[in-house]
Chain A
Amino acid sequence: MARVRRPGTSWWVGAVGLVGLCVAAEVQPAYSQQSVSVRAALVKGTLPADDPTAAAWATAAVSEFPMSPQVHWPVRITDVTAKSVKVRGLHDGTTVAILLEYSDPSEDPDDAAALEFMVGDTKAHFAHGQPMAQVEGGPVNIWYWKNKDGKGADLGAKGFGTLKPHAHQDVKAKGVYQGGVWKVVFSRPLSTEHVADDTQFKPGTFASIAFAVWDGKKMETGLPKEKGSEKAISSWWYFRADAPPDYSPYMYALLAVALALGFELVLVRRLKKGS
């Protein structure tokens, strides 16, 4: 028996399907956006907080940021080894881990890397939170790792010459050098008790983050190629620890669809009665 089709049914079904695809595409997480932020996804199970080579890192979205030689304040440098850094983040709801990955032709004891964050809601200049003329700046929180130390350091600064370790050391770090690439993982609890010194990560909220890398290769002078303010830097980008999945927007959308359908039914019925 031949199927009886209402005229025009097939194309409007196709059109609705197309709209459905568009909606689905819109709902996809925007992980592929150009790197202006680092997104730390929420993971279940063990966080690779002390293993820069853990397989779990392959599942984390990667962002890449260009690096500049530090020319903002003296002592300057004009050529740096790290031209960019790749950054990944993961968290388990309690601890956040951030993996920094960059090329370096040689492993040296003075190789070092750092992450920098603003503290609280006060804006701070990316260059060690230096004072600004018309804006009251805040402190910065710096997470520092140096190869020969083999551990992380939790530092604070509010202007040049004020960099010093916090009395409380909450940051851990571990670096692994493989095939001309440093992989350094930093970790810390999402929140600490030291709100005046430490950046606090609230899942779902964007924080400011900046990067620094030192190539510690020993030069003929006996000094490292990059040291102190002679380093590769970035200015501020964004970091976010993802919030747990929130399905309420889908519920609201379904409710809205139901209400709109109900409105249509009532309207058409009343119009038909009226006519």
Chain B
Amino acid sequence: MGGVLVRPIILTVFIYLFLKFIVPNLPHSAPLPSSLIFLYLMLTTAGIVIFATLSGASKDAFFGPIFRFLTGESGGALSSARYLVLALFPLLVGWQTYGSTASSDAPPGENRTIHPAPPGEYTGLSNPVPKTLDNINYGKGLYASRCSPCHGNFDGKGFAAAGFTPPPANFKDPTTIAMLQESYLFWRIKKGGVGLPVEGMPWKTAMPRWELEMSDEDIWKVIMGEYDGAGQKPRTWDESE
């Protein structure tokens, strides 16, 4: 198909593989949405076309093989590939058109923020209860009776967890209480699911509003017991700075 096209094709494939399989595995990264990958590939293609058409000679060298391929002048195995491309292109267009016009069978997507920002009065509070073994054990006792039905053995797998969506938090998971300050937990336990802002979708969560049934001091003790039982440490100001 002309050696001039080999490098752009390799470059495009490499960028796709990089975005699809390598970027998600980089530290603090996440899988890219397909729309973003598509956008990057379009930018890559546009860049390749601009580069290839900078001069008349490079333009001919770039488009010549493509034109010969499309008109069937390349011959050999490429003429079979030509039929394939000519058949697949309309099918792809039809498929995309169907996908963008057909109604979806999937329920609406939910962009629920798992750890929304707390109200200002709950930012940076420090636990006023002395961290003694007695207080930790007292907190663990409260946890066992009040929290473990849903949060289980600090793993989010309590006997009452199954019916709730979103599921109860798993405190052993490093993305839950280990990355939060004690003041954040105090807010979430005290005000419960109904205390969440709109981005937290408070109408879905089963977390009770414990301020109606526990004193502030007991809530702080539960937090101590929770961190100790889950084998986690709260995030502190020093670490977050």
| Residues on the B chain within 8 Å of A78, using CB | 149, 159-160
CB distance from A230 to the nearest CB of B (A): 13
Measured between beta carbons, the chain B residues less than 8 angstroms from A130 are 194
Q: Do B203 and A257 touch (CB < 8 A)?
A: no
> B133 near A: Cβ within 8 Å?
no
Q: Does the CB pair B89–A264 fall under 8 Å?
A: yes
Min CB–CB distance A23 → chain B (angstroms):
6
Q: How far is the CA of A255 from the CA of B203 in the complex (A)?
A: 44
A23: contacting residue among B71, B87, B95, B101, CB under 8 A: B95
> Within the assembled complex, what's the spacing in Å between the Cα atoms of A232 and B77?
66
Instruction: Give the number of residues in A that approach B within 8 Å (Cβ atoms).
Output: 76
Measured in the bound complex, the distance between the Cα atoms of B103 and A243 in whole Å is 10
A120–B129 alpha-carbon span in the complex (Å) = 46
> How many contacts A-B (CB < 8 Å)?
179
Decide: B163 and A66 in contact? CB cutoff 8 A.
yes
| Interface membership of B86, Cβ < 8 A | yes
| Size class of the contact patch on chain B | 35 or more
Asked if A12 meets B94 with Cβ closer than 8 Å, knowing A67-B163, A126-B203, the reply is no
Q: Is A49's CB within 8 Å of the partner chain B?
A: no
Contacts of B197 in A (CB 8 A): 134-135
Interface residues of A in 19-61 (CB under 8 A from B): 19-20, 23, 26-27, 29-30, 33, 36-37, 39
Task: Write the residues of chain A forming the contact surface with B, with a CB cutoff of 8 angstroms.
Answer: 6-9, 11-12, 15-16, 19-20, 23, 26-27, 29-30, 33, 36-37, 39, 65-69, 71-74, 78, 83-84, 118, 123-127, 130-135, 137, 204, 206, 232-238, 240, 243, 246, 248-250, 252-261, 264, 267-268, 271-272, 274-275
